[in-house]
Amino acid sequence: MDTLRGHDIDGDRDDFDYADDAAIESPPAIITNERRMQVRAYNYWASLLKDRALPSIEDLQPELLEDFGPYSVLLDFSVGIDNPAVIYMGAALRQECEIAGSISRIGDVPPRSLLSRLTDHYLQIIANAAPIGFEAEFVNQRGADLLYRGILMPFSSDGETIDFVFGVINWKEAASRAETDALEREVSEALGFSLNGFAADPPVLDLTVSDMIEMPVPDAGAPLADWLAMARDSAEQARAGEARSHIALYRAVGLAYDFALAAEQSPEDYADLLTDAGIKTQARSPMTAIVKLVFGAAYDKTRITEYATALDHARAQGMGAGALAAYLAAYAGGLKALVRDTRAARRAAMPARPDRSRTVREAIRIAPALAPQAIATDEDGLAVVVARREIDGSLAIVAALPEGSALGRKVMIAAMH
């Protein structure tokens, strides 16, 4: 699975110890093995696939999953993509979100609760038709800073359509507000400029901002390979255990951008580096190749996409060399927030999606009637059909579900209850 981090990492390591995750202690309720929970959830999903493209929703019983069931939620998209139904919510997740009564739709989830963040991710399932891993941090309804990580997995009632999504989520409470305020002041003072009302991202300063700014870079006329080597060294430091901080990561992303600017001045050398690495450019996302060169083509695909988004933003803003790292440190919410805001701006600029439900209903309204004898039935002579009320009050059959479909069986069961 492309976006689930952890398959190539020791399962005993902490779930939140990547370069841009704050180094904090787990609350008593969640001690260790957060990453392994996501991996176990994915392995469970994969075990239900068998020889199908999507696992059947009939095989899923979240209430019986003692391991990660309490941290899970099951969404039903058959009632609508924009506001799916919540048909199961684990006890631990319900407690974190402070939900006492019943919740019927995702739109009914309390604002600023952990579950309200799912809307940022579940639509990716429809587009990718595969499990999606995600992570972020935010301030919840109690004013606590949470770092959360989870996985959303698609299920189907007919083997083809994704109409259910099963999510497993874990979280940690980050440092106190007083601690992050102190770190913000340190970042602001080290950068030596006004943040103009924006709160600096509160990193764990394994490398200080001064270290980041003062690290040497190649001369302006240096070969492009030197720029790449410097960016790769910084990326390796960001991944290393002794430099696990936002600052180290921001410097690495900043140097990747500097390398991109240098590559524009040496297109032939850049083409040779891409060929040597076996990396192809993408017309719609040219910065992806830059990030792969610096961080490695096998690096986590979600991170590659995030870093490329940051580089695209810097290029669109016309930033010069050496500017992006400080910009990320000063951006309210840091790299994650920049990526979120950039994607939100892109979505806002896109034309609205057509209302699929309205389109289908209109097609049914004008569809020609079908002859009853033309409808296929199962071995018991049963079929699930769609009928339309005609002007004279009669019902006309205008569509039918495939003979023996799993969805048809579920409809029959629901109709008899």
| Number of Cβ within a 10 Å radius of residue 264 | 10
> What DSSP assignment string belongs to 299-316?
S-HHHHHHHHHHHHHHHH
Mean pLDDT of 199-209: 40
State the residue for tokens 């587009």.
Answer: 127
Token code pair at residue 54: 């999507």
pLDDT at residue 83 in the model: 83
pLDDT at residue 211 in the model: 47
The Cα–Cα gap between 47 and 31 comes to 27
pLDDT at 295 > cutoff 70: yes
pLDDT at residue 19 in the model: 32
Closest C-alpha among 150, 149, 145 to residue 167: 150
pLDDT at residue 11 in the model: 36
pLDDT at residue 289 in the model: 94
Amino acid of residue 218: P
The Cα–Cα gap between 382 and 126 comes to 31
Q: Which is it for the CA torsion 208, 210, 213, 219, positive or negative?
A: negative
Token code pair at residue 134: 């995600």
**Quick one: angle between helices 267-277 and 287-295, nearest 10?**
60
pLDDT at residue 39 in the model: 84
pLDDT at residue 186 in the model: 57
Q: Residues 8-17: pLDDT tens digits?
A: 333 333 333 3
pLDDT at residue 24 in the model: 24
State the residue for tokens 């972020």.
Answer: 136
pLDDT at residue 334 in the model: 87
Closest C-alpha among 51, 67, 115, 127 to residue 89: 115
Mean pLDDT of 234-247: 62
* Size (the chain), residues: 417
Mean pLDDT of 305-321: 93
pLDDT at residue 123 in the model: 75
pLDDT at residue 209 in the model: 46
Token code pair at residue 410: 């579920």
- Cβ proximity of 199 and 341 under 8 Å: no
Q: Residues 34-71: pLDDT tens digits?
A: 457 788 888 899 999 888 889 999 999 998 888 889 99
**Helix, coil or strand: residue 59:** helix
pLDDT at residue 197 in the model: 34
pLDDT at 206 > cutoff 80: no
Contacts of 144 (CB under 8 A, 6+ apart): 173, 174
Sequence spans of domains, the chain: 30-184, 224-349, 357-416
The Cα–Cα gap between 101 and 398 comes to 40
pLDDT at 239 > cutoff 80: no
pLDDT at residue 243 in the model: 38
CA distances from 292 to 40, 255, 264, 312, 385 (A): 28, 13, 16, 14, 51
Contacts of 356 (CB under 8 A, 6+ apart): 81
Closest C-alpha among 320, 310, 299 to residue 232: 299
> What DSSP assignment string belongs to 177-223?
HHHHHHHHHHHHHHHTS--TTPPPP----SS-HHHHHHS----TTS-
pLDDT at 226 > cutoff 50: yes
pLDDT at residue 34 in the model: 41
Share of the chain above pLDDT 90, in %: 22
Output the average pLDDT for the chain.
77
- Cβ proximity of 161 and 129 under 8 Å: no
pLDDT at 154 > cutoff 70: yes
pLDDT at residue 245 in the model: 61
Token code pair at residue 407: 């969805």
Contacts of 270 (CB under 8 A, 6+ apart): 224, 263, 264
Band (348; pLDDT cuts 50, 70, 90): confident
Give strand ranges (E) for 311-376.
Answer: none
pLDDT at residue 56 in the model: 93
The Cα–Cα gap between 337 and 181 comes to 18
The Cα–Cα gap between 215 and 213 comes to 6
* Region of poorest pLDDT, from 116-130, 136-150, 364-378: 116-130
* Fold assignment, 30-184: Beta-Lactamase (3.30.450)
